[in-house]
């Protein structure tokens, strides 16, 4: 086995140096040198393989098969993963400190310990602290094996001997490799440790779940290549002051992306929420202005979210445009569209938009709900009770269709909504029991339809 050595490689131009410098002598960029492991003899091996040809296969001759899934005993977690854990898969889960990453994974491992050999590798907490958490959550660890270690080589050797079906590394930023001289958590250490663990997972078939820290901007700490190495990237979202947590999939080689799992933090850990729409809908005793219910789509799950708007007279020459949980850059555009095509003026008003429940909505199908909520708050006229809407608004004032409109309408009808305003292209071919659907082509038609529905319900 060749002895590994390290060198410093420039992230900009790829130049190699034996010692670290503040500035790359080739491209003159500052702080771009990253320590990287280089094996002795690698150049000679590459030279020997340069003349050989790799074996190709015809894609049509390959037999496609579904990867077998390992249920994690937590339904919402399995939903985000695409049905469960995959043998040899590597999952990276990140989130703010104290959001519940370790709690969720400890619950999942305790549920798997009765059927599969599992290992929990703790690099941040001692064994007594992990045992105290399991006792506080009233979990039954069963055959769960615990390893408190941060040395990469020892961890891989232990996993090779134990051969677990699932292993959790908490966290990847605490590990270090003896082949590198940099401190744990540095760019070189995180990249090398993740690459070695991924290689072990693919060779042994062990499912690895890596816990990652996040920066103050909410991104995963470490090199960007870390997200490219793993198979699945999950983000834990939510306010630590609230009891609700959201897990969102941003990358998944074995399932759909943008799936959403909803949890509630209780005294016994995280519990899945079967009806998440109830979390994002406020229950008002009476009708209030500036409130509109949006039917959004998170992965394969339709959700009903209340969009609230507050329009007030501006106290300074530059009116404020503030959006929480929605795309802030689209708000000014939507107000301009409403002014141009519907004649509703907001240039002298402060406009505040909020998505109830702390959920983040990125799809453009929320445009119509935002405009109706703004118009309702500006005129101080509540929208009809039991109304749900969705649709994208274009710059010409047209209402564009949204994907999976039938599923959205069925979800709204199931939760008791009686009427809906949707793009005309999303009108169902067959009527949906319990809900009256109105199709519109333009923003002025949507405002008129909301007014007529309100007059008809009185």
Q: Which two tokens stand for residue 248?
A: 């969102």
Q: If you count them, how many residues does the chain have? A: 458
For residue 341, pLDDT over 90 is answered with yes
What is the average pLDDT value for the chain, to the nearest integer?
Answer: 87
Question: What pLDDT is stored for residue 379 in this prediction?
Answer: 93
How would DSSP label each residue in 20-51? --SB-TTT--BS-EEEEEEETTHHHHHHHHTT
Average pLDDT over residues 253-272: 87
CA–CA distance, 306 with 213 (Å, rounded to integer)? 31
Q: Which of 364, 366, 283, 354 is nearest to 322 (CA)?
A: 354
56 within 8 A of 27, measured Cβ to Cβ: no
Handedness of CA 325, 330, 336, 337 (dihedral sign): negative
Q: What is the pLDDT of residues 68-108, one digit of tens each?
A: 899 998 999 999 998 899 999 999 999 888 888 999 999 99
pTM: 0.78
For residue 33, pLDDT over 50 is answered with yes
Average pLDDT over residues 319-342: 92
Q: What is the pLDDT of residues 388-439, one digit of tens each?
A: 999 999 999 999 999 999 999 999 999 889 999 999 999 998 989 999 999 9
For residue 188, pLDDT over 50 is answered with yes
Average pLDDT over residues 128-142: 91
Tell me the three state secondary structure of residue 296: strand
Range list of H helices, 184-289: 187-204, 225-229
Band of residue 3 on the pLDDT scale cut at 50, 70, 90 = low
CA–CA distance, 168 with 92 (Å, rounded to integer)? 10
Q: Which of 257, 249, 293, 261 is nearest to 422 (CA)?
A: 293
Question: What pLDDT is stored for residue 12 in this prediction?
Answer: 67
CA–CA distance, 62 with 432 (Å, rounded to integer)? 43
Question: What pLDDT is stored for residue 1 in this prediction?
Answer: 46
């Amino acid at each position: 086995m060749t002895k590994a050595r390290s060198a410093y490689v420039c992230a900009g131009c790829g130049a190699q140096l034996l010692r670290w410098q503040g500035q790359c002598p080739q491209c003159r960029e500052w702080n771009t040198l990253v320590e990287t492991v280089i094996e002795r003899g690698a150049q000679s091996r590459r030279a020997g393989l340069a003349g050989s040809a790799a074996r190709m296969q015809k894609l049509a001759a390959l037999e496609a098969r579904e990867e077998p899934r390992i249920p994690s005993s937590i339904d919402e977690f399995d939903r985000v993963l695409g049905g469960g854990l995959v043998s040899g898969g590597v999952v990276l889960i990140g989130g703010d400190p104290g959001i519940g990453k370790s709690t969720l994974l400890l619950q999942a491992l305790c549920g798997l310990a009765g059927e599969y050999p599992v290992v929990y590798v703790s690099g941040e907490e001692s064994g007594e602290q992990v045992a105290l958490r399991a006792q506080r959550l009233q979990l039954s660890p069963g055959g769960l094996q615990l390893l408190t270690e941060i040395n990469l080589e020892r961890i891989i050797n232990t996993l090779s001997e134990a051969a677990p079906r699932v292993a959790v590394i908490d966290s990847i930023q605490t590990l270090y490799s003896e082949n590198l001289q940099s401190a744990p958590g540095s760019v070189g250490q995180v990249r090398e440790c993740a690459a070695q663990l991924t290689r072990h997972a693919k060779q042994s078939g062990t499912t690895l779940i890596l816990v990652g820290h996040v920066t103050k901007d909410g991104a995963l700490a470490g090199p960007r290549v870390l997200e490219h190495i793993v198979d699945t990237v999950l983000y834990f979202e939510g306010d630590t002051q609230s009891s609700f947590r959201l897990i969102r999939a941003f990358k998944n080689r074995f399932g759909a992306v943008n799936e959403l799992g909803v949890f509630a933090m209780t005294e016994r850990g995280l519990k899945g929420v079967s009806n998440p729409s109830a979390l994002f809908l406020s229950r008002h005793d009476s009708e209030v202005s500036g409130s509109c219910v949006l039917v959004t789509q998170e992965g394969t799950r339709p959700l009903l979210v209340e969009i609230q708007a507050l329009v007030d007279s501006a106290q300074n020459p530059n009116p404020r445009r503030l959006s929480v949980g929605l795309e802030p850059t689209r708000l000014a555009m939507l107000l301009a569209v409403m002014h141009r095509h519907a004649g509703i003026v907001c240039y002298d008003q402060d406009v505040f938009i909020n998505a109830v429940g702390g959920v983040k909505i990125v799809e453009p199908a929320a445009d119509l709900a935002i405009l109706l909520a703004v118009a309702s708050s500006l005129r101080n006229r509540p929208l009809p009770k039991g109304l749900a809407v969705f649709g994208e608004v274009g710059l010409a004032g047209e209402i564009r269709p949204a994907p999976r409109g039938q599923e959205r309408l069925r979800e709204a009808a199931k939760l008791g909504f009686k009427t809906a305003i949707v793009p005309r292209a999303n009108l169902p071919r067959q009527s949906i029991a319990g809900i009256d659907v109105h199709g519109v082509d333009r923003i002025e038609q949507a405002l008129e339809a909301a007014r007529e529905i309100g007059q008809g319900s009185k």
